[in-house]
Amino acid sequence: MGILDRISTILRSNINATLDKAEDPEKMLDQIIRDMASAIEEAKGQVAGVIAQEKQLEMEKNGAEKSAREWSDRAEKAVKAGRDDLAREALRRKKDFEGISTTYQQQYDGQHEMTSKLRGQLELLMRKYDDAVRNRDVMIARHRSAQAAQQVSRQLAAMSGMDHSSELSRMDQRLKQEEAKAMAMVELNSGGTASIEDQFAQLESGDTMDDELKQLKSKMGMGGNQ
């Protein structure tokens, strides 16, 4: 993969989407950071090579321009010396070097444009790398928080679909049965004592009723033996 493709692929990568799909987001993020660091080092080496070619073309262009100037000076000297034949040859060579210089200039312009583009992409990649390193812990914390929120949401959704009323009703009925059973046991355990007390209460109640009946008959003039 060429340098442009390599850098473009990493710059287009969506780290958050990658973390969502990863089984271990922390390891995946660390791997992304390592991949970016490796790509940066590779890109630096290749960009340095492109810059070196640009500088070489610039030196070749400058050399051709210098040679063109030198042959121009020689042509003037030949003219002054009355050597038109040498002047013509000097002018021919001057023209050749000017053509060479023009070719180098065109190559240099193209190389310079490519170098500028690669420099910009490399700088962007380095900024993204710095951001990834600086925000690693924040991104991990955000991802963990999102996962926790999703888990809670799933649990709440599951609980909302459950109906506990029947279970509560059965529990209430069971408690009532247990309470009734306990009361019955208490009544059975204290049955003898309660029977004697009830009998005395009935006797006392009967005596009271007899007295009240006598009073009523006396008041109505119906006295007599009962």
Which of 75-79, 114-118, 124-128, 190-194 has the lowest average pLDDT?
Answer: 190-194
95 and 38 part of one domain: yes
136 and 36 part of one domain: yes
36 and 134 part of one domain: yes
Determine, yes or no, domain membership for 72.
yes
Using 50, 70 and 90 to split pLDDT, how confident is the model at 82? very high
Q: What pLDDT does 74 receive?
A: 94
130 and 188 part of one domain: no
pTM above 0.75, yes or no: no
91 and 187 part of one domain: no
Mark which of 160, 182, 201 sits at the end of a domain.
160
Determine, yes or no, domain membership for 167.
no
- Mean pLDDT over 47-66 rounds to 94
Determine, yes or no, domain membership for 168.
no
Is the dihedral angle over the CA atoms 62, 63, 64, 69 positive or is it negative? positive
148 and 42 part of one domain: yes
112 and 187 part of one domain: no
Q: What pLDDT does 1 receive?
A: 46
Residue 13, pLDDT > 60, answer no
Q: What pLDDT does 32 receive?
A: 81
11 and 67 part of one domain: yes
78 and 187 part of one domain: no
Determine, yes or no, domain membership for 36.
yes
More confident residue, 69 or 8: 69
Which of 75-84, 85-94, 136-145 has the lowest average pLDDT?
Answer: 136-145
Determine, yes or no, domain membership for 166.
no
Q: What pLDDT does 93 receive?
A: 96
Percent of the chain with pLDDT over 90: 30
Residue 62, pLDDT > 70, answer yes
202 and 90 part of one domain: no
Angle between helices 25-80 and 136-160 (to 10 degrees): 140
Determine, yes or no, domain membership for 226.
no
Q: What pLDDT does 27 receive?
A: 79
The string of DSSP letters for the chain reads: --HHHHHHHHHH--HHHHHHH-SSHHHHHHHHHHHHHHHHHHHHHHHHHHHHHHHHHHHHHHHHHHHHHHHHHHHHHHHHTT-HHHHHHHHHHHHHHHHHHHHHHHHHHHHHHHHHHHHHHHHHHHHHHHHHHHTHHHHHHHHHHHHHHHHHHHHHHHHHT---HHHHHHHHHHHHHHHHHHHHHHHHHTHHHHHHHHHHHHHHHHHHHHHHHHHHHHHTT-----
113 and 21 part of one domain: yes
115-157 pLDDT, tens digit per residue, is 998 888 888 888 888 888 888 878 777 777 777 777 777 777 7
Determine, yes or no, domain membership for 184.
yes
Indicate the number of domains in the chain: 2
Residue 8, pLDDT > 70, answer no
Highest mean pLDDT pick, 29-38, 133-142, 188-197 = 29-38
Domain span holding position 192: 174-219
